[in-house]
Structures are given as structure tokens and as C-alpha cells.
């Protein structure tokens, strides 16, 4: 690792962890639960090429009961029958928000996603996407070592 960003900016990372805690509470309350966030975190990390976070979130997903088949197929989720309509909506939303530059979020995607998520849960899902994108950027920038995370 190039540097320990936790010790370099403890207040900044405390703020990140507080936001992560809010998102985790939403997951635990059932709004974003049932392993949905681990799928989203893994998919966003795949898009960003963050090996550390892919390793972390696939380990956490397995520990929570996610299947190998669904984890292996996540990068091709559109072509498989392994995901629910709600999961598909969340994955599409996460991808669009991760690849937002020059693309935006169109009304069709917004309306399709709103069919599965309340205003609060969609806001929290978007916050989750924001946090994993930020964690990916920290891990990639400072060369966090893939494989070192223990669930």
C-alpha cells in the first residue's frame, strides 16, 4: 500500500465511515437488505477495476450466503436469469451512476428503478453507490492490497 489513508486523514475517513454506517443501517432495516448491497458494491468495483474491493465484497457476499454462480455471473447480469427484477433495477441504477459522466440518468431508468424502490431506499441506494465509488478511488489511488481483507 502506498500509504495508510486512514491515518493520513482520520477525520475525512471518519466521515466516510459515518456515511457507510448510514447505508449499512438501511440494509439491516430491510430496505436494501438480502445481500443487495454486496452485489451492488461488487458490480461497481468491477466497473472501476478495484481488485481490493472486489475481493472484499465477494468475500462478504459469500459469508452472507451469496452463491458462487451469481457472483461469477455478475459482470454479465443482463444475460442471466439469476437476479430478481429488484436486483436488476439496483444494478442498472448503480452502473448508470458509476458511469454517469456524459450519460446522465434518463427518465426511463429512473422510472423503472422507482418501481422497486421508495424515495428513501432509492436515495440510500444512490448513497451506497457514491460510497463504493469513493472507496474504490481510495483503494486504487493508494494501492490497497487485494487479498488482504478478512471478512
The domain spans of the chain are 5-142
pLDDT at 90 over 90: yes
For 3-43, write each residue's pLDDT tens digit: 999 999 999 999 999 999 999 998 888 889 889 999 999 99
Q: Which set of grid coordinates corresponds to residue 6?
A: 486512514
CA-based end-to-end distance of the chain: 19
Question: In the CATH scheme, what is the code of domain 5-142?
Answer: 1.20.1290.10
Looking at residue 137, its pLDDT comes to 97
| Predicted confidence band of residue 115 (pLDDT cuts 50, 70, 90) | very high
Rounded CA-CA distance 96/101 in Å is: 9
Mean pLDDT, the chain, as a whole number?
A: 95
Rounded CA-CA distance 116/78 in Å is: 17
Amino acid at each position: 500500500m502506498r500509504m495508510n489513508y486512514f491515518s493520513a486523514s482520520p477525520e475525512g475517513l471518519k466521515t466516510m465511515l459515518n456515511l457507510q454506517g448510514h447505508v449499512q443501517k438501511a440494509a439491516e432495516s430491510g430496505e436494501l437488505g438480502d445481500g443487495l448491497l454486496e452485489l451492488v458494491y461488487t458490480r461497481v468495483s468491477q466497473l472501476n477495476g478495484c481488485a481490493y474491493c472486489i475481493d472484499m465484497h465477494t468475500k462478504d457476499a459469500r459469508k452472507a450466503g451469496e452463491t458462487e454462480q451469481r457472483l461469477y455471473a455478475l459482470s454479465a447480469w443482463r444475460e442471466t436469469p439469476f437476479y430478481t427484477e429488484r436486483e436488476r433495477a439496483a444494478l442498472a441504477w448503480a452502473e448508470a451512476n458509476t458511469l454517469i459522466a456524459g450519460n446522465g440518468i434518463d427518465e426511463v431508468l429512473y422510472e423503472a428503478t422507482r418501481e422497486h424502490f421508495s424515495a428513501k431506499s432509492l436515495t440510500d441506494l444512490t448513497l451506497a453507490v457514491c460510497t463504493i465509488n469513493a472507496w474504490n478511488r481510495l483503494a486504487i489511488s493508494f494501492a490497497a492490497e487485494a487479498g488482504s481483507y478478512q471478512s
